[in-house]
């Protein structure tokens, strides 16, 4: 009797281990995203929880969550800057790197101001939101394909390009359905809602693998500890001097 019970216990343990291994393997299944052939709007919103003018802009950009061409012809990102943190509320999504990105656009003459809410469309400053105007003509349609393979530890980026410029690969993890109760600053006592907010970011110089391909393996971006309803991954390539995207790939990443 004891032997039978022991045998059953061993079988049960192996069954549980098999299930756990199966779950782990399924969770670790790599995901591949690829750029499309469509003209694409790369929409950047520079925003802050410390800015009282920003919630309407974020509310507007949230409408693209259900857009029929999301990730194909329109790719929005919310970059939270840190230069309003001194007002008394530290934005948990803010990064000095995002502030530098916005300032680089201004330094290159691509944007007139460094302010929030600030819009950049395909690397150029855009004031259409303030005036109720539509986007300018989309211009991201590179003949070269960008592919990113993502797993739990890294993102492998491959970009077919014959460019002589030094290229940078960028990876951003976006969070959706995020709520924050602000307790100080200009938005004190407000409950703010965020979609398309960058909660993880990584960049790295690409390596020329052969005459027509640039590749790089990036660590999975460090992520802000926050509850999200959904997540998405955006991968793009730019030159070393200009953050304007040359090619981009994006999709939901659960």
Q: Among 173, 170, 174, 171, which Cα is nearest to 243's?
A: 170
Alpha-carbon torsion, ordered 130, 133, 134, 139, to 10 deg: -70
Per-residue pLDDT band at 141 (split at 50, 70, 90):
low
Q: pLDDT for 165-201, tens place per residue?
A: 899 999 999 999 999 999 999 999 999 999 999 999 9
Domain parsing of the chain, residue ranges: 31-252
Using CA atoms, how far apart are residues 5 and 124, in angstroms rounded to an integer?
71
Cis peptide before 117 (omega within 30 of 0): yes
Alpha-carbon torsion, ordered 236, 134, 93, 201, to 10 deg: 0
Q: Tell me what percent of the residues of the chain surpass a pLDDT of 90.
A: 73
DSSP 8-state class, residue 231: E
Q: Give the pLDDT score at 118.
A: 96
pTM of the complete model = 0.86
Euclidean distance between the first and the last CA atom of the chain, given in angstroms as a whole number: 47
Q: Are strands 167-176 and 230-239 parallel, antiparallel or unpaired?
A: antiparallel
């Amino acid at each position: 009797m004891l032997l039978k019970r022991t045998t059953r216990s061993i079988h049960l343990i192996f069954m549980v281990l098999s299930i756990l291994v199966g779950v782990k393997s399924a969770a670790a299944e790599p995901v591949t995203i690829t750029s499309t052939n469509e003209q694409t709007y790369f929409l950047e919103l520079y925003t802050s929880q410390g800015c009282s003018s920003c919630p309407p802009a974020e509310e507007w950009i949230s409408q693209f969550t259900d857009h029929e061409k999301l990730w194909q012809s329109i790719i929005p990102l919310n970059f939270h800057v840190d230069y309003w943190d001194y007002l008394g509320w530290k934005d948990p999504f803010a990064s000095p790197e995002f502030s530098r990105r916005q300032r680089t656009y201004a330094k290159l003459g691509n944007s007139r101001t460094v302010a929030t809410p600030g819009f950049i469309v395909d690397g150029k400053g855009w004031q259409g939101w303030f005036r109720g105007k539509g986007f300018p003509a989309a211009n991201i349609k590179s003949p070269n394909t960008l592919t990113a393979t993502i797993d739990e530890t890294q993102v492998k980026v491959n970009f077919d390009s014959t460019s002589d410029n030094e290229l940078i690969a960028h990876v951003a993890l976006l969070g959706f359905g995020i709520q924050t109760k602000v307790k100080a600053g200009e938005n004190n006592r407000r409950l703010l809602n965020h979609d398309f907010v960058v909660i993880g970011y990584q960049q790295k110089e690409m390596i020329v693998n052969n005459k027509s391909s640039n590749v790089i393996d990036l660590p999975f971006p460090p992520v802000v500890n926050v509850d999200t309803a959904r997540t998405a991954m955006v991968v793009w390539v730019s030159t070393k001097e200009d953050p304007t995207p040359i090619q981009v790939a994006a999709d939901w990443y659960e």
